[in-house]
Structure 1
Amino acid sequence: MNLALTVLEIVAPVFILGAVGFAWIKLGFEYRLQFVTQLAMTLSVPCLIFTALMQTDIDPKALADLSLAAVLAYGAVTAVTAVLVRVFSLDMRTFLPPLIFGNTGNLGLPLALFAFGETGLGYAVVVFAVMAVWSFTFGVWVVSGGGSLLKVLREPMVAATLLGALFLWQGWETPRFLTNALELVGQIAIPVMLITLGVAVARLHPGRLGLSVVLSALKLVICVGLAWVIGQQFTLDPVAFGVLVLQVGTPVAVTSYMLAEKYGADADAVAGLVVTSTLMAVVALPGVLAAVL
């Protein structure tokens, strides 16, 4: 009973804020998705990432171990889902990226924070950064044929991760007044990302829902299973292990839909994956949380 209550306390704020964004759109209120997304991804999330890493008390070696585990996990997920797409005779450009990349930002970071506190957030940032680099290189290359490492380095979230890691490694800290300002801006990120997730889902036009349900279930099993197995091979502490499994197991990211729409893949099919995997996560993620807590 206590475990069930703990899980409810963790996931309820996440899905309530997502429901607020969904209801906001269904009630006909205005929400400038492009502006809010740009504000979060260009300013607020980078500030959150930088301050989380700079002020973390996590041993740098533990972060390095988690980074390697995340790299191997995403590599394994990529290989297995590529085979899955071939077996189902699906379009690689449309289906492979969403099956690999989860919503580690909008959903994963808040879940890690609520479940494991500031330490969990620090770990979650590392997994998020690994996914972001892979997404902006291999993911964009699959969808468009134009992935670029230089483009990755220009992304504010990746730059903030590298800078935060440098400050952590050297033991540096920004002046207190600047840290306070950065923390204040970073505090915008989590509620805004969750509300924006609900808004984005409300505006999607999903297609091929039967196939989406099957693929979403397979993605969940593959991602959680591989992250669990790989995480067990490393000497990760329980929080790092839980964060790895949670982050890799998050549902399809809305950015996968945006990339499909931008580069001419089947955006409606990807929208179907976003919607079905997100709804599936409402039921599945509490179970995953209960297993790793």
Structure 2
Amino acid sequence: MNLVLTVLEIVSPVFLLALVGFVWVRTGHEYRLEFVTKLAMTLSVPALIFTALVNTSIEPSALTALLFAAIAAYGAVTVVTMIAVKVIGLERRTFLNPLIFGNTGNLGLPLALFAFGEEGLGYAVVVFAVMAIWSFTFGVYVTAGGGSPMKAAKEPLVWATLLGGLFLWQDWTLPRFAMNTLQLLGQIAIPIMLITLGVAVARLHPRGMPRAMVLSLGKAVVCAGVAAGVGYYFALPPIAFAVLVVQVTTPVAVTSYMLAEKYGADSDSVAGLVVASTLLSVAYLPIILAFVI
């Protein structure tokens, strides 16, 4: 019973804030999704990543081990997913990206913070950064059917990760007024991302929900299995192991829908994956947390 209550205490704020965004839009209130998303991804999330890395008390060696584990996990998930998409006969431009990448930002960072505190958040930003860089390079290349892999170099969150890692490695910090400012800016990231997730889901027009449910369940099983296997192989400490599994297994991100819409893939099918996997995550993420806590 205590374990059930603990898991509910962790996941309830995450899904309740997403529900706030969903209800906000459904009741006719305005929410400028493009502006809020740009604000979060350009300012608040990079500030959150940088301050989390600078202030972390985790040993750099532990973060390095998780970094390589995250790279290995996403590499393995990419290979398995590419094979599955080809065998099943799905369109690669539409389905490969959402089946690889999860919602490690909007959903994964809050879950790691609520479940494992500041240490969990420090680990989570490393996995998030690996996913983001891979998504902005390989993910965009696949969905767009080509393009430059250097797009990731233009993303503020990539630079925030690199600078945060450098400051952590050198044991540097910024003047107190600068750190306080960045911490305040970073504190708005998690509630904004969760509310925006609810808003985005409320505005989607999903298609092919039965197939989306099956694919989403398969994605969750593959990602959880791969992440757990990689975590055992790298002998990660308990919290790092748990964060890796949770982050890699998060549901399809709304950004996959945005990329499909931008580059002319089947965005309605991707919307179905976003909705189906997010609904399924309400059930499977508490189960995963119950096993790893």
- Partners of 1:139 and 1:147 within 8 A in 2: no
Q: Which moved more, 1:139-148 or 1:41-50?
A: 139-148
Q: Partner of 1:159: helix, strand, or coil?
A: helix
| Counterpart code for 1:271 | A
Tell me the CA shift for residue 146 of structure 1.
Answer: 3.4
Task: Give yes or no for contact 1:51–1:183 (8 Å, CA) kept in 2.
Answer: yes
- The CA deviation at 1:224 is 0.5
CA RMSD of aligned residues (A): 0.7
Rounded to whole Å, the distance in 1 between the matches of 2:31 and 2:277 is 23
Alignment deviations for residues 172-203 of structure 1 (CA, whole Å, 9 cap, x no partner): 01011111110000000000000000000000
Please say if residues 141 and 149 of structure 2, whose CA atoms lie closer than 8 Å, have aligned partners that are also in contact: no
Partner of 1:46: 46
Who is 2:88 aligned against?
88
1:115 maps to which residue? Answer: 115
Deviation of residue 170 (structure 1)? 0.3
Count of residue pairs the alignment pairs up: 293
1:137 aligned residue: 137
TM-superposed deviation, 1:234:
1.1
- Aligned partner of 1:9 in structure 2 is 9
Task: Tell me the CA shift for residue 83 of structure 1.
Answer: 1.2
CA distance in 1, matches of 2:124, 2:84: 27
**1: CA distance, partners of 2:270 / 2:196:** 18
Whether contact under 8 Å (2:137, 2:150) holds in the other structure is no
Deviation track 1:49-98 (CA, whole Å, cap 9, x = no partner) reads 00000010111111111011001100110111111111211100000000
Secondary structure of 2:206 counterpart: coil
The TM-score normalised by the length of structure 1 is 0.99
| Shift in CA distance, 74/189, structure 1 to aligned 2, threshold 3 Å | same
Instruction: Give the unaligned 5+ runs of structure 2.
Output: none
Partner deviation per Cα, 1:240-288 (whole Å, 9 max, x = no partner): 0000000000000000000000000000000000000000000100000
Determine the structure 1 residue equivalent to 2:34. Answer: 34
How far residue 147 of structure 1 moved from its aligned partner, in angstroms, is: 4.4
Task: Using the TM superposition, give the Cα deviation of residue 149 of structure 1 relative to its aligned residue in structure 2, in angstroms.
Answer: 3.8
Is the 1:136–1:147 Cα contact (8 Å) retained in structure 2?
Answer: no
Aligned partners of 2:49 and 2:160 also within 8 Å: yes
* Alpha-carbon distance in structure 1 between the residues aligned to 2:61 and 2:148: 28
Which amino acid in the other structure matches residue 252 of structure 1?
V
TM-score, structure 2 as length reference: 0.99
Pairing 1:281–2:281 present: yes
Distance 1:149 1:84 in 2: 24
Q: In the alignment, what sits opposite 2:251?
A: 251
Q: Tell whether the 8 Å contact from 1:138 to 1:147 is kept in structure 2 after alignment.
A: no
**8 Å contact from structure 2 (residues 93, 145) kept in 1:** no
DSSP-derived class of the 2:162 partner: helix
In the TM superposition, what is the alpha-carbon distance from 1:145 to its structure 2 partner?
A: 3.0
Partner of 2:212: 212
Q: Amino acid of the residue matched to residue 68 of structure 1?
A: F
